[in-house]
Structure 1
Amino acid sequence: MELGLQGKTAIVTGGGEGVGRAAAASMAREGANVLIVGRRANVLEAAAEAIPASGGGRVIVLAADITAPGAAGTIVEAALSAFGRLDILVNNAGASLAKPFEQASPEDWNTDFDLKLWAAMALIRAAIPPMRRQGGGRIINVTSIDGRAPRAGSMPTSVARAAGIAMTKVLSRDLAADNILVTTVCIGFIKSGQHERRYAREGVAPEAVEARYAEDARRRAVPLGRVGESAEAGDVIAFLASERASYLTGIAVNIDGGTCAVA
């Protein structure tokens, strides 16, 4: 299926690994130019080198803390300077910060909302004018199924993700007249660098990581019986960014192997 992404420009935050890297790779294969953003320059460079240019799309990197003052404007200007346009924004940056309510400190709440909500809002605000000038665009917010069906001990991340889902739905209505389509993907148990770093901290040997993923999928009662691959999420994001999804806005798509009962 031709997705109509040839020559389009995308920004992907948290683009150095996991779902962000997979989304960047999927869009680049379809011919989109992609700016991947993250805090670790070496991780971004490795991701850009690993993404094949088979579709003709270029991948460039920008090491930045998206929560820093003025970062949103700098990121959008970098994409416009490199590629001359901005069609797609994927707000993917974020890590799971999940604790029981009484263990979550005010600093935890501030840190989580700064990254997952306020920084995403700043990027959206900066992206709207160039999208509006060219007649439309796509904004895809990567959230979590915890924002739809929170687990015990999932604060503050479940609350931040619920806010991201609500923001998506409101923006889809506010921006519809500008042909700026806003959607969210609610991620379940997907392979990622943060899971693998946690396994390493817990002493799981590299050769045992796949077995641990399988064990965790069983523990989480994923109906499909396995952990999701980041590419499976990346391909859905690329579709939502594409011309084939031109009548989809305000939706929240679960990518979770059937885990979440809330559709």
Structure 2
Amino acid sequence: MDFSGKSIVITGAGAGVGRRTALEMAARGGMLTVSDIDASKAEGVAGEISGAGGRAIAAKADVREYGEMEAMIGAAIAEFGQVDVLINNAGTGIPKPFIMTDPQEWNFDIGICLFGVMNGCRAVLPHMVERNAGRIVNICSDAGRVGEPTLAAYSAAKAGVVGFTKAIAKEVARNNVLVNCVCFSTIRTELMASLFQMNAEMEPKMVKRYPMRRIGEMEEAANTVMLMCSEYVTFVTGQVLSCNGGYAMVD
């Protein structure tokens, strides 16, 4: 996959799958706007890319704030001339039984996982529609397709992302803007790796729920996202692709 000359914006790119995707796309010629709510993390990833000979800028942004997302897109356009790809990757979710949660917690999850995606799309779509070209990949979760116990608000937010993605895909398809979802199950991010180290029984129990008897690796997650942004995908929009080792098989 070749992203030479493509301007790519990734939210939540300071760590995990977002970081790995940014590094992989930069290594393939992409020009990256690395966004994160933690400025130091965004700057660190942008520095890694620049240090390896790539092009990248850091952009601090809270995805819940439309003005900050608009400024992030503006910074990418100012630096690279356009935005070809937006990957709405920022997310959060803390497991807890629903009856033990409160509206403030729901608003936090939904604000990041759903409204963050809406803010990113609203900020970039006028630019993509005007250019008659663009790709948006909204990072979702199988929790939004089948529901996940102890992640009720998160599941609701991710289900909203699926519906939202399909709706706007229909609106902008005629403008050659493709909008799709990529769903993940458990991926071995830095956070998950640290949890496994603290609890040796956690991973063996978890993988029993997966037909492939393992969880996903960050490289596999990044490759799936890159595929949906690549030159190989030109007639696919409004779709949901799961990278999950068979955890959930949903039509």
Q: Structure 2 matches for 1:22-33, cutoff 5 A?
A: 22-33=20-31
- How do 1:1-263 residues align onto structure 2 when only pairs under 5 Å count? 3-51=1-49, 57-196=54-193, 199=195, 204-205=197-198, 214-219=203-208, 221-263=209-251
Deviation at 1:213, TM superposition (A): 6.3
**In structure 2, what residue type is equivalent to 1:40?**
D
**Percent of aligned pairs sharing the same letter:** 32
Deviation string 1:163-201 (CA, Å, 9 cap, x unpaired) is 00111111111110111100001110101234346x28x
SS in 2 for 1:61: strand
CA contact (8 A) 1:6 1:57 kept: no
Judged with a 3 Å threshold, the aligned counterparts in structure 2 of structure 1 residues 228 and 78 are, in CA distance, closer, same or farther, namely: same
CA–CA separation in structure 1 for the residues paired with 2:241 and 2:51:
28
Superposed displacement of residue 252, structure 1: 0.5
Aligned partners of 2:80 and 2:68: how far apart in 1? 18
Q: Which residues of structure 2 form unaligned runs of 5+?
A: none
* Partner Cα separation in structure 2 for residue 52 and residue 63 of structure 1: 17
| SS of structure 2 residue aligned to 1:247 | coil
Question: Aligned-residue CA RMSD in angstroms?
Answer: 2.1
In the alignment, the residues of structure 2 paired with residue 52 and residue 70 of structure 1 have an alpha-carbon distance, to the nearest angstrom, of 27
| Contact 2:62-2:69 within 8 A present in 1 as well | no
Q: Aligned partners of 1:227 and 1:145: how far apart in 2?
A: 14
C-alpha distance in structure 2 between counterparts of 1:234 and 1:101, whole Å = 31
- In structure 1, what is the Cα distance between the partners aligned to 2:62 and 2:155? 22
CA contact (8 A) 1:9 1:85 kept: yes
Q: Contact 1:104–1:156 (CA<8 Å) still a contact in 2?
A: no
* Separation in 2, partners of 1:47, 1:222: 31
Equivalent pair of 1:18/1:192 in contact (CA under 8 Å):
yes
Query: Which runs of 5 or more residues in structure 1 are unaligned?
Result: none
Per-residue deviation, 1:53: 7.2
- Structure-1-length-normalised TM-score: 0.88
Q: Deviations over 1:119-166 (max 9, x none)?
A: 211111110121122221001000101011112222110010000011
1:15 counterpart SS class: coil
Distance between the aligned counterparts of 1:63 and 1:108, measured in 2? Answer: 23
Q: How many correspondences in the alignment?
A: 251
SS of match in other structure, 1:10 = strand
Runs (4+) of structure 1 moved beyond 3 Å? 49-54, 211-214
